[in-house]
Amino acid sequence: MMRPTLFALALTLAAPALAAAPDDPITPAPTPRDWQELARRPDWSGSWFPVISDQFAQVTTNPPPWKPEVKKQIDYWDAEEKAGRPRGLLLDCLPHGVPSFYLITHNSIEILSTPGRVTILGESDGNRLVRIWTDGRKAPVDPDPSFHGYNIGVWQGDTLAVSTTAILPQTWLAVSEAVGIAIGEGAHVEQQFHLIRPDTLAVDLTITAPAVLTHPWQTRRLFTRKRARSFEIGEGVCRQGDFEETTDKWGNPAWRPVAQSADGNALAPPAK
C-alpha cells in the first residue's frame, strides 16, 4: 500500500499533466439563454429519409467533374457494377465519411440540436456521427484528419452553412455504393442545410477535391421527414451480420463468426 506522503507526492507530480494546455480553450457550460436560442432555430426533429431516386438523378444529370485519369477508373467500376460484379465500397465497415454521408446514404438520419452544436446520427452503422460546431470556434490549425472531418457551422437565418475540412484522404467520394474514388488530400466540403418544404430538407454541397476533380462540384441531396414512431432510426451495427447467435461452454448467450467468402458474403454452413 502506498504511504500517504508518497501518494500526495504522486498526485502533485501528475497534476500538470491533467491540467488543460494554455492554448486549449474551455467550452463554457450552456446558459439558459443558449437553450432559449434553440427555440428560434428551424425544427429539424423527426427521422429524415434520403430520396434515393433523386440521388440517382443527380449523378446522371450532374456528374462529378472527374479528372480524365480518374474518369477511367470510375468508368471501370461502373462497368463492373453493371456487369453484376459490384465492388462494394462499404463492405469493410468503415464510416461513409463526408461527403458520401450525404451523397449515397440509403439509411435514415436524425438531427439533434444543442447549444453550440448540431449532431447528425446515421442509422446504417455505429460509426455514422457528424458533429457540427456552431459555437463560433475556428477550425484547428493542425487538426487530426477523420472520415467526417472537422465541421464548423454558421447559422444564416434558417440555413445552417457548414465548412468541412481535415477529411482523411482515404474517404470515398462516391456516386453509388459500388462506384467511387478516394477523395485525396486537400478536400474541402461546404454544405447548406435548409428546408425547402415543411418536411423536405435540402443539403446543397460544394465539393472541392483537387486530387480527383477538375473543379468544385455543386450538387444537392434531399431528405424527407417521417414522424411516426415506426420510422424512428434503429441501432445499426454493420458487423453484426458477420456473426451468428450461439452460447458459450457455460450456456451464456454469445456470438461466433460466420464463415465468409472473399467478397464479404456469408458462406453456407458445412454439411453435416
Contact present, 45 and 231 (Cβ < 8 Å): no
pTM score of the predicted model = 0.84
Q: State whether residue 77 is helix, strand or coil.
A: helix
DSSP characters over 134-191: -SSPPPPSSPPPBSS-EEEEEEETTEEEEEEE-B-TTSEEESSSS-EEE--TT-EEEE
Residue among 97, 121, 78 nearest 187 (CA): 97
Contact present, 141 and 259 (Cβ < 8 Å): no
What is the DSSP secondary structure assignment for residue 231, as one 8-state letter? Answer: G
The one-letter code for the residue type at 186 is G
The strand pair at 109-114 and 117-122 is best described as: antiparallel
Q: State whether residue 201 is helix, strand or coil.
A: strand
What is the DSSP secondary structure assignment for residue 146, as one 8-state letter? Answer: B
In this structure, the chain runs to a length of 272
**pLDDT per residue as tens, the chain (272 positions):** 545 555 555 555 555 555 556 678 888 899 999 999 999 999 999 999 999 999 999 889 999 999 999 999 999 999 999 999 998 888 777 888 999 999 998 889 999 999 999 999 988 765 588 999 999 999 998 899 999 999 999 999 999 999 999 999 999 999 999 999 999 999 999 999 999 999 999 999 999 999 999 999 999 999 999 999 998 888 777 777 788 899 989 999 998 988 776 666 666 666 66
| CA atoms within a 13 Å half-sphere pointing along the CA-CB vector of 129 | 5
